Amino acid sequence: MCAVGGGPDDIAREEQFPTAGPDETLERITEFFRSGATAEAIGIGSFGPVDVDPSSPTWGYVTTTPKRGWRHVAVAPVLRDRLAVPVAFDHDVGAAALGEYRWGAGSQARALSYLTVGTGIGAGLLINGKPWHGLIHPEVGHIRIPHDRDRDPFPGVCPMHGDCWEGLASGPAIERRWGKAGSDLPDEHPAWELEAEYLALGILSLVCVFSPDRIVAGGGVMERRGLLEKVRTRLRGLLAGYLETPLLGEEIGAFLVPPALGDRAGVLGAIALAEAALGDAEFSAPRC
Amino acid sequence: MCAVGGGPDDIAREEQFPTAGPDETLERITEFFRSGATAEAIGIGSFGPVDVDPSSPTWGYVTTTPKRGWRHVAVAPVLRDRLAVPVAFDHDVGAAALGEYRWGAGSQARALSYLTVGTGIGAGLLINGKPWHGLIHPEVGHIRIPHDRDRDPFPGVCPMHGDCWEGLASGPAIERRWGKAGSDLPDEHPAWELEAEYLALGILSLVCVFSPDRIVAGGGVMERRGLLEKVRTRLRGLLAGYLETPLLGEEIGAFLVPPALGDRAGVLGAIALAEAALGDAEFSAPRC
């Protein structure tokens, strides 16, 4: 998704096209930004893993993705060279976190996590509104969670780890396990109890490791009616009152929240990244 | 453990006694600090969960601990009132992280995790040398990891969660599962392969959520010869090359490291906390 603008109410142009191979995709992005009014700076929220370390020789690359043809591919450096504007680069979920923080459901959260559950599972973390990367960047989709093979013999879909969190609970996992897309399963299908269990188990790791103030949970799978409430209930069950704070108790509805920007969090976050790049030519991605 | 001093080579007095009930324990601590040369400030690294939020009315309390008699007990406010000096307060693992960062194996790490595996499992996180708390503070011991009940039918020892990470892999879990203390099990006992598996599974969540630059792994269980190397190997296996950086590959020996301060990390970290309290009377615990 490409857009030129300054925020949710100020989008001058926008275009969406499927991700093809790197050459074709980067060419379409270049064309988009060359036609019409030029962008003063570009922010990129890319699928990952990505290299977001500004001091690295492979800054702005997609790295070890299983996505065909995209391993070790330069993204940000290519667009910066072709378009000759400042470029800021982050993980797609990092950008989405920034979008929700700036204009959506993450505002005011000191320790924000944006979680997406869709074709994959990922989370972006912000500390005081700045992306947190650490050594690489969070890759929560690949943690391991309890997998009861008696209840759920499905082996998982992750090409690298089988039944990691993403392997068990992403959209493709739901589709492969049940033989039809999640969107075609009725609300009362047992898929959703199992999904809520897996999501709560993974979110528990987010809560117990990073201790966020708020988790914005987006992505296609989370749009299922009633799922978020099921996950909240199960998460409270897993915590069993151990972390005694209203936000993990009766106020959990203000802790684990739906996105306000829907599937536009990423592209709007990329605009926020571009603004940051404008403010500082050396800017790559803000670090805590 | 109580000490007066300015660092590892500058300890004027020191005393260790078992934790009894709150009244008796706080009285002994008070006596220690009243006798001999007075401390100018006090840093506390307490078992938890604790309230480390300086704006909270229960700052400095132990909160929802299962430890008998210690639920919702004021610690830091009591010592501050009795001793009339600035008091800084943090979780025990937060203090240990600070000690290793300042004087030990965590120096220079931007994103440091100190992990302890002993009577419980916990981790303190530092960002640029400052404790990271987020909403409460990390409580990694209570995440859930895969538990293959065919291989290991042991139900876990956590009084609140059964087979959470701590319930499966803490020192008491080893002792209860095998019928004797870990220190009495030989190096070649199958306990250690299982322990390495569980530790790697939990550390994977630390890596994939917080993305630390370095993990210092201490506590009594980690003193077992060969265990750390087994955990490193298993962690690389679980990552399966997905996060491509030398520190998670061939240089993992510089990523997952033993402590340099042994069981003195906590008390030395408390001294570092006290120094911070001296610098700022409003200081409670530095927040990122």
- DSSP structure string for A68-136: TT-TTEE-HHHHHHHH-S-EEEEEHHHHHHHHHHHHSTTTT-SEEEEEEESSSEEEEEEETTEE--TTS
d(CA A91, CA A285): 10
Is the CB of B161 inside 8 Å of chain A's CB atoms?
yes
Touching check for A107 and chain B: CB below 8 Å? Answer: no
Q: Which of B135, B160, B244 sits opposite A213 (nearest CB)?
A: B135
Q: Helices in B38-107 by DSSP H: which ranges? A: 76-83, 92-103
The reply to whether A143 touches chain B by the CB within 8 Å rule is yes
**Chain B CA closest to residue A244:** B64
Cβ of B136 and A245 within 8 Å? yes
Is residue A282 scored above 70 in pLDDT? no
Tens of pLDDT along A182-195? 999 999 999 999 99
Is the confidence at residue B277, as pLDDT, over 90? Answer: no
β-bridge pairing B214-218 and B111-117 = parallel
Contacts of B136 in chain A (CB under 8 A): 211, 243, 245
B13 touches B243 (CB < 8 A): no
Q: What is the pLDDT of residue A286?
A: 40
How large a percentage of chain A has pLDDT more than 90?
A: 91
CB atoms within 10 A of CB A65: 17
Helix (H, G, I), strand (E, B) or coil at B129: coil
Sequence letter at residue A15: E
Q: Measured between alpha carbons, how far is A214 from A108 in angstroms, rounded to an integer? A: 10
Residue with tokens 């008491």: B172
Minimal Cα distance from A113: which residue of B? Answer: B209
Kindly report the nearest CA distance between residue B226 and chain A, in angstroms. Answer: 24
User: The pTM is what?
Assistant: 0.95
Contact B218, B112 (CB under 8 A): no
Average pLDDT of every residue of chain A = 94
Question: What topology is assigned to B105-259 in CATH?
Answer: Nucleotidyltransferase; domain 5 (3.30.420)
- A160 CB within 8 Å of a chain B CB: yes
Q: Among residues A87, A86, A102, which one has the least CA distance to residue A45?
A: A87
Indicate yes or no: CB of A212 within 8 angstroms of CB of B64: no
The whole-angstrom separation of Cα B264 and Cα B85 is 23
pLDDT given for residue B284 in this prediction: 45
Cα separation, A93 vs A114, whole angstroms = 7
Dist CA A75 CA B208 (whole Å): 23
Does any CB of chain A come closer than 8 Å to the CB of residue B213?
yes
Q: Testing the interface with A: which of B64, B126, B127, B144 to mutate, by most A Cβ within 10 A? A: B144
Q: Which of A90, A136, A151 to mutate to test the interface with B (most CBs of B within 10 A)?
A: A136
The residue-averaged pLDDT of B110-114 equals 97
User: Are B216 and B261 within 8 A, CB to CB?
Assistant: no
Q: Where in chain B is the domain with CATH 3.30.420.40?
A: 2-92+263-279, 105-259
Whether residue A201 and residue B144 make contact (CB cut-off 8 A), yes or no, is: yes
Split at pLDDT 50, 70, 90, the class of A67 is confident
What is the tens place of the pLDDT at every residue in A127-155? 999 999 999 999 999 999 999 999 999 99
CATH 3.40.50.1010 fits B2-92+263-279, yes or no: no
Residue of chain B nearest A198, judged by CA positions:
B144
Residues B277, B282, B285, B288, Cα dihedral to 10°: -120
CA A136 distance to own-chain centroid = 15
